């Protein structure tokens, strides 16, 4: 599976389950590879390390924080 398609799968998994996860994981970071949810972590570094341990250095996985509303970043 191409990298873009894989990311789409992970983002779709995130969006499908986000409402459910917000109930008990608000602010946490979730690790997702494909449709596999590897866990929730309180900080990015721990989540990223867990992703590396589970899926390997060359493994593709997404680390994304759970927000009720996505923050908007401005780049000038």
Q: Could you tell me which of 52, 1, 50, 9 has the C-alpha nearest to residue 30?
A: 50
Model-level pTM?
0.86
Whole-angstrom Cα distance, residue 54 to residue 39?
10
pLDDT score of 39: 97
pLDDT score of 66: 97
- Along the chain (76 residues), what's the average pLDDT of each consecutive run of 10 residues? 76 96 97 96 98 91 94 86
**Residues near 21 by beta carbon (within 8 Å), at least 6 away in sequence:** 30, 40, 66
Q: Are 63 and 51 in contact (CB under 8 A)?
A: yes
**Residues near 67 by beta carbon (within 8 Å), at least 6 away in sequence:** 26, 27
pLDDT score of 3: 58
Secondary structure class of 22 (helix, strand, coil):
helix
């Amino acid at each position: 599976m191409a990298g873009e398609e894989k990311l789409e799968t992970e983002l779709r998994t995130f969006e499908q389950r986000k409402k459910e996860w917000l109930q008990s994981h608000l602010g946490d970071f979730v690790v997702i590879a494909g449709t596999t949810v590897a866990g929730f972590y309180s900080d990015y570094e721990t989540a990223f390390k867990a992703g590396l341990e589970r899926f390997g250095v060359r493994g593709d996985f997404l680390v994304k924080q759970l927000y009720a509303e996505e923050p908007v970043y401005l780049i000038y």
